[in-house]
Amino acid sequence: MKVGYLGPKATFTELAVKKVFERFEHVPYQTIPGCMDAVSNHDVELAVVPLENALEGSVNITLDYLTQVAELPIIGEITIPIKQHLMVHPQNAESWQDAEKIYSHSHAIAQCHKFLHKHFKGVPYESVSSTAAAAKMIMESPEQNAAAIANELAAKEYGATIVERSIHDFDYNHTRFIVLSEQNIDFQVLSGSSHYRTTLMVTLPSDQAGALHQVLSAFAWRKINLSKIESRPMKTGIGNYFFIIDLEMKLDDVLIPGAIAEMEALGCSVKLLGSYPAIMVDLD
Amino acid sequence: MKVGYLGPKATFTELAVKKVFERFEHVPYQTIPGCMDAVSNHDVELAVVPLENALEGSVNITLDYLTQVAELPIIGEITIPIKQHLMVHPQNAESWQDAEKIYSHSHAIAQCHKFLHKHFKGVPYESVSSTAAAAKMIMESPEQNAAAIANELAAKEYGATIVERSIHDFDYNHTRFIVLSEQNIDFQVLSGSSHYRTTLMVTLPSDQAGALHQVLSAFAWRKINLSKIESRPMKTGIGNYFFIIDLEMKLDDVLIPGAIAEMEALGCSVKLLGSYPAIMVDLD
């Protein structure tokens, strides 16, 4: 079985893929839409793309392409902790504190703001297209005393030496990935997780005060817990929003269908994006 | 007066800054936290950073740094349409359809997925740190027949020739920026906008079914319209969320303070991030 993922190699997305789909073939794609198209075109059976708090891609692109173009079911979710390390070429392992330049993805540089401010004040940094690209870059120019911020996998892949571990500002830093597939694949068996989530896309009838409140009533009186709610603009004009709502339960026969029927009676259109096992992967 | 913005030059953030703060001095910063720190340290009077649907930075970093570290008031909002153009070195203007490589920011490549799929199928693309960097890159190597996806400003700044305009997939593609300042600056005078928005950060007492529904009741019965709601994980552990809520009105003496008092009585903590004029800028 082939698993497409947002590349390049040694990014956080590949980390997630390696943990969960160890024995499958992994195919990197350069963009999130390209990765989803590969599933639609049957080039791969599964795709893994970042959904939330992503480093190497945009959450908005994932949601927009999923809801408005690709229309693939979500069959699973993988959450991994994001740990950023400082690494240099092995030749520069002794003198890393004198590094003259720091390379990384712009988001990773921002995430390590406090560390860089304390240890490398005034040292210029250069943002490159991914953390993996940064690790590759410092390995190609050992004569320059430069450091990269990247993950464990990138250090291994390119042979860089990690000189400071976990240099990110916030301890609790996670990325949430979704697994997309049109095939009948049981992610519960693959992941071993029995914790389910259900994701709905809800479009309100019009931009009216209190419409969202009515929608949430449908969940509240059924005691269905929401783990996330996010409004996203429709691509049709200003002020038109749809909502992505995550429910902390598996799709059942009574409660969720009842809530959907109630929202539809209020004039909403409701689309089930998936009801899937969610796994939290520890990288240590 | 100095205005800090998320650089480099010729990005969409600079486009927004140029439109609204034409006569001020503009100072580019490499990261969103760096840009906010510049305001806290009084290096600049104002800062402009992307908040939503951003190309050159992460929305999550803006929200997280704003709510948990920088604590700067939002004094204004600027929304601009995102228009992506295909550009080449003037030498290659006749032969652009034979371009052998496409450079851009990964998000811009993803946003022009359909165009690239139709006109440049099989042509490799390379993601660089910003759309502006892509434009700069093709201008430095005219001997390579390469194209860049970037904005109007980047074409002007680096002298590239636009060969196809508006190649992005979705017509309605906007980025929303916030203006941060600790000074008493009237953004209404600067922007000429009298359309106000108020942004609140609401932390729920505990992860309970229906808590959000109760919060929204405080707005619904007062007929206060919400234009956006988004849940963000607290950096303290899984399942703890706070909410960013945008209200479509200016902070008044009765309605919003009443809603805040009601939410606090329910055990929520509420923080006012700002009540500010919002301007929609047309780039044409």
More confident site: B153 or A56: B153
- Say whether pLDDT at A174 is over 60: yes
Nearest CB to B60: which of A53, A172, A239? A53
Who among A31, A53, A170 is closest to B106 (CB)? A31
Chain A residues in contact with B53 by the CB 8 A cut-off are 60, 233
Residue B152: exposure state from Cβ atoms within 10 A (0-12, 13-18, ≥19):
middle
Q: One-letter amino acid identity for B205?
A: P
How far is Cα B66 from Cα B148, in angstroms, rounded to an integer?
Answer: 33
**Residue A41 has what pLDDT?**
96
The pLDDT of residue A229? 86
pLDDT over threshold 70, residue A108: yes
Per residue in B28-52, pLDDT (tens digit) is: 998 889 999 999 999 999 999 998 8
Q: Is A60 on the interface with B (CB under 8 A)?
A: yes
* C-alpha distance from residue A26 to each of A4, A47, A77, A106 (Å): 6, 9, 17, 26
Q: Please give the residue that has the higher pLDDT: either A52 or B81.
A: B81
The first and second tokens of residue A184, run together, are: 């009948």
Domains of chain A: 2-81+173-184 (3.40.190.10), 85-164 (3.40.190.10), 196-275 (3.30.70.260)
Q: Closest partner residue to A107 among B58, B110, B235, by Cβ? A: B58
Q: How far apart are CA A74 and CA A36, in angstroms?
A: 11
* Min distance B101 CA to chain A CA atoms (Å): 14
Cβ atoms A20, A62 nearer than 8 A: no
- Alpha-carbon distance values, A281 to A27, A71, A83, B21, B241 (Å): 21, 26, 13, 46, 20
- In residues, how long is chain B? 284
Q: B220 in helix, strand or coil? A: helix
Rounded distance between C-alpha atoms, residue A182 and residue A45, angstroms: 7
| A129–chain B Cβ distance below 8 A for any pair | yes
Name, of A26-35, B38-47, B172-181, the range with top average pLDDT: B38-47
Q: What angle do CA B86, B87, B90 make, to 5 degrees?
A: 155
With beta carbons under 8 A apart, name residues in chain B contacting A129: 106, 126-129
pLDDT at A168 over 80: yes
**CB of A30 closer than 8 Å to CB of B109:** yes
Tell me which residue of B214, B221, B229, B204 sits closest to B255, measured CA to CA: B221
Q: Are B229 and B244 in contact (CB under 8 A)?
A: yes
Which has more confidence, A273 or B67?
A273
Pairwise CB contact (< 8 Å): B64 & A170: yes
| pLDDT given for residue B253 in this prediction | 94
CB B180 within 8 A of CB B136: no
What is the pLDDT at residue A69?
86
A172 pLDDT exceeds 80? Answer: no
Contact B33 A110 (CB under 8 A): yes
| pLDDT at residue number A27 | 96
How confident is the model at residue A239, as a pLDDT? Answer: 56
Angle between helices A255-265 and A211-220 in degrees, nearest 10: 160
pLDDT at A175: 87
Question: CB atoms < 10 A from the CB of A46, how many?
Answer: 27
Is the pLDDT at B53 greater than 80? The verdict is no
Q: Does A240 touch chain B (CB under 8 A)?
A: no
pLDDT of residue B271: 95
Measured between alpha carbons, how far is B226 from A244 in angstroms, rounded to an integer?
16
Which of A8-12, A183-187, B121-125 shows the lowest per-residue confidence on average (mean pLDDT)? Answer: A8-12
Residue B58, pLDDT > 80, answer no
Q: A7 pLDDT exceeds 90?
A: no
Tell me the HSE value of B112 on the side-chain side, using a 13 A CA sphere: 30
Q: Which two tokens stand for residue B20?
A: 């609204």
pLDDT tens, position by position, A42-61: 999 999 999 886 566 667 78
Neighbours of B267 (CB within 10 A): 13
- Is residue A237 over pLDDT 70? no
Query: What are the pLDDT digits (tens) for B215-242?
Result: 889 998 998 988 888 887 766 655 567 8
| pLDDT at B105 > cutoff 70 | yes
